[in-house]
Structure 1
Amino acid sequence: MALASGKTATVPCVTLSSPDAAVVAPDAVGVQEFCGVNEWAFTRHTACISGVSGVLSVYALVEGREVLVGQVYFTITTGTSTSGNSARWTHSFSLTPTLMWGSVGNTYLIATAECAANCNFESMNFNSAFPIATGVSRSGSATLSTTSYGEGTVWRAWSTWAYWFRNPDWVIPVSNTLRISAPDHRCDEAIGIRFSIGCVYSQVRPLHEIGRTRYPKYARHIELAINFGVPSILTRTQISAQNAANRARACPQSPANGWSCDEYPFASTQEGAANPIHPYGRTFQILNWNNGAEPFFCGIGWLTPRRAGDSLGYSVCGIPLDQNTGGGTDLGNFYIRNRVLHDDRFQVMVV
C-alpha cells in the first residue's frame, strides 16, 4: 500500500450488530410510545429502535499484518413517524459514541437518508461539521414522501439511513458504508377525501377510545354492550351494501322516545347486526343496580332487554341525536386518522 506523506498506515472497518428484522405479532395493539431497546417498538404511526450497537475498528498494516490500533464503540437510535393525513413521513437517525480509544481522533460521521421503496426524498438535515466525541450524539432527520398509485390503491413504502466514518489522517480516509432501514409501512389512497394519501403501520391494531364525558349515553351504551360480551375487537367493512344491511336490521324503526337509534357493533363493521353470528338483537332497560348506579333506559320497543348472562346478539339503544351524530363523526375521523381499511381490525374501549 502506498502511504501518503505524514499519514498513518490505517484501514477502517465498521461492523454493526444488526437487529433482527422488524416483526410485529399479528393484530398487535400499538401502545408503545417509546423506542424499543434492540427491538422495534410500534404504534399505528411510529416505529423506533434504540441501543443498536456497532464498532468502528482501525487497523495499521505492520509487516503485512493488520494490527488493531483504535476503536469507536457506538449505539444507534432510529425511527419513523407517519401520518394518516399525509403522504410524507419523517425518518430520524442518531449515533452516539460510547467508547473511543487509539487512532480515532479527528474522525467524522457522515450520514444520509435514502429512499428504499415507493419513496421520494424531500429534505434532510444532519450535522457532520464536527469530529465525533464520546457521549455526544450526532443526529439528523429526513422528510420523505410517497406517490399515489391511483384512487383505491394500497402499497408499501420505507426508507433507510446510510452512514460511514471519515478521517483525513487515515490512508483510506473513509470507512465502509452501513445502512439501517426502517420497517415498511402501508400507504393508501382508499379512504377519506378523494385523492388523499396516508400511511400507517397496518400490522398494529389501532384503539378507538370513547370518552364517557364527551357523549355520556352513547358511551354508556357501548360500555354496557361490551361488558355483556358483545365484541370489543371489530373488523372494518367498506362494502356499502353490508353497512346498509347492518343498519336495516339493527334499526328498522325509530325509538319511541324520538331519539336516535344507536347500534353496536357499528354498522361500518363486519360484526354489525346483519352478521349471522348474531341470533337476535338486544336492548337495555335496567331498573336498578346492586351497586347503586343510576337506571339506564334505551326506549327500544322492538327488542328484548338484555338480562344477566345473555352475551349473544347485537345491541341497540335510543340516545340523543347529537350524541349519535358526534360519536359517528368521531368514528369516521378515527378511521381516516388510522387508515382503517376494509378487513382491518381495531379495538373499542370506553374511557
Structure 2
Amino acid sequence: MKRSAKAVDSCGELQAKINAGELASGGGKAEVACIQPGGESNITSRRLSTLAARNPVPLPDYCYDLATGDGAWYYTRTDACAISVWTLRVIDKRTGKLTGELYYLQADLLYTGADAPYWSHQVVIDKSGGWGNISGTTVSGGGSCAGDCTLAAVDKNFPTQTITDDGLTFGDILPKTTVSGIGDIGNGRTTVTYRLDNPSWTLKPAGVASTPPFDVRCDNATPGTAAIGCVIPIYDAVDTVSLSGPNPDYARHVQAAQASGLPGAYPDGEPLHRLTDSALRTRNGDTACPQHSSGGYPRPTGYSCDEYPFRSTWQGAFTGSLPQPAPYPGRTFNWCQITALPQGVTGPNGWSACMIPAGQNSSAGSLLNRFYIDNRVIERDPFRVWITA
C-alpha cells in the first residue's frame, strides 16, 4: 500500500551559489528563496485535523492514520494520497543570512471513477507556520498526464493564490482516458506542478512536481458493464465476504477452503486471477460440480454445489490444473454433504466443492460479479477474498 516519492531540495545548490559569491552582484532586491523537504511543520494530530477540515475533497482516513510527512504514497483500488512536509527558506543573497521561513504541508489526493473515464489529482498547500519576510507569498501551478490520457486546458485548475494562515490554497487536474473501443485498456500517470513566488525575491525557488509512482488504468474491457472506468491496478482488488452476512454458508466454505491451503486468502495468500472466457468457466464449474445426471454429486433439496476457487478464475478446478492432462484432485468438508470427495486434504493445488443453500449460492455469484464490475477486475487481474466475522 505504500510507495515513496523522492523529494526535491533546491536549497543546497542555492547556498553553494551564495557561498561562491555568484549572486552577490547587482542592485535592487536582495532576497532569494528555495524549498527543502522537512522542517518544523512535523505531522501532528492537530495539523492533520486542520488539513482534513480544509481539503476541498477530503483525504481518506487511512492517509491521516499512516502518513508521516515523508511524501510516501498510500493507496487502495480507487484512491491514493501522500502528505509531505516542506520548508521555504528566504535568504539574503549578499550575506547568506536566513531572513524568513515558511513551513507547509503538501497533501496529494488522487481518486478514480470506477464508472467514469477520468480521474482527479488534487494538491493542497497548507501553511503550518513561519517567520520573517514571507508575507505575500503565492502559489500557482498546473499539470500534465503521460500515457493514454488527455488533459485539456480547462481541466488544469491551479490559479495563483496567496498563502495565509487560515486560507486554502490548492489546485487539481482532471485527465481523461483515451480508451474508447470495446476491449481497450490504457494507462496514464499524472503530474501536478506548483511554484512559490513573492515580489520581494530576486530569485524564486524551483518548481515542485508531484507525480505518484504508479499508473492509473482505464478500460472498456470489464465484462458486465458498458461504462469505461479507471482504477489503481497496483493495488489488488479485495472481495470482502462476511460470515454474518447474507450468505454465511458460502462464506464458511470459502473460509474452510482457504484454510486448507487453497489460494486467494487476504492479505498474504497467493492471489486468484480472473477468467472471462465463458467456455473455460463452464469447464471449471463442470469439473468441480458435475451434474448428478452425469455421474456427479446428488443435490440435497434446496441446495446447490459451490466451488472454490471460483469457476471465474484461472485457479478453477479445470484451468488451475493446466497444462497437466487431468485436473488436480478435489476436496470437501464434513458439513458439505458430498461423499464422493475426500476430507482433510490440504495444500495449494486442487479445488473444493460444498453443498450450500441454493439461494445463497445464487446471491454470492451475483455479489461476486458486482465486485468484479465495481473494481474493474479484468482478464487475469489478481484479487483476493477477505472473510470477515
Q: Same fold (TM over 0.5)?
A: yes
**In 1, are the aligned partners of 2:140 and 2:195 still within 8 Å (CA)?**
yes
Question: Structure 1: which amino acid aligns with 2:300?
Answer: N
Q: What secondary structure, in the 3-state scheme, does the structure 2 residue paired with 1:133 have? A: coil
The question of 1:54 aligning with 2:103 is answered: no
**1:92 maps to what in 2?**
122
Q: Distance in 2 between matches of 1:116 and 1:71?
A: 34
Give 2:278's aligned residue.
Answer: 240
Cα distance in 2 between the residues matched to 1:32 and 1:347: 22
Partner of 2:236: 205
Corresponding position of 1:41:
74
Greater strand fraction, Structure 1 or Structure 2: 1
Partner of 2:371: 334
Q: RMSD of aligned C-alpha atoms?
A: 3.0
Q: Give 1:158 deviation, angstroms.
A: 2.0
Q: Percent identity?
A: 31
Gapped runs of 5+ residues in structure 2?
A: 1-24, 39-59, 265-270, 293-297
Deviation at 1:268, TM superposition (A): 0.8
Deviations 1:254-312 (A, max 9, x none): 5432432211110011111113285322333x3xxxxxxxxx3x3435x22413x5456
Instruction: Pick 1 or 2: higher relative contact order, CA cutoff 8 A, min separation 6.
Output: 1
TM-score with structure 2 setting the length: 0.71
Aligned partner of 1:178 among 181, 184, 208: 208
- Tell me the amino acid that sits aligned with residue 145 of structure 1: K
Whether the 8 Å CA contact 2:103–2:128 is kept in 1: the answer is yes
2:384 maps to which of 330, 347, 350: 347
Residues 33 and 43, structure 1, Cα contact 8 Å, conserved in 2: no
Task: Tell me the distance in 2 between the aligned counterparts of 1:148 and 1:222.
Answer: 36
Matches within 5 A, 1:1-351: 8-16=29-37, 33-34=62-63, 36-37=67-68, 38=70, 39-50=72-83, 52-62=84-94, 68-121=98-151, 123=155, 128-129=160-161, 131-134=162-165, 138-148=169-179, 150-171=181-202, 175-183=205-213, 184-193=215-224, 195-212=226-243, 213-232=245-264, 233-254=271-292, 255-258=298-301, 259-274=303-318, 275-276=320-321, 279-284=328-333, 286=334, 296=335, 298-300=336-338, 303-307=340-344, 310-311=346-347, 313-351=350-388
CA distance change for structure 1 residues 238 and 15 in 2, over 3 Å: closer, same or farther? same
Q: How far apart, CA to CA, are the structure 2 residues paired with 1:162 and 1:86?
A: 25
2:175 match: secondary structure? strand
- Contact 2:173–2:192 (CA under 8 A) maintained in structure 1: no
1:20 is aligned to: none
Q: Return the offset for 1:80.
A: 0.5
Q: Distance in 1 between matches of 2:86 and 2:346?
A: 58
* TM superposition shift of 1:90: 1.9
CA distance in 1, matches of 2:93, 2:321: 76
Q: How many residues align?
A: 317
1:43, 1:53 → 2: CA distance? 22
Offset of residue 127 of structure 1: 7.2
Letter in 2 for 1:345: P
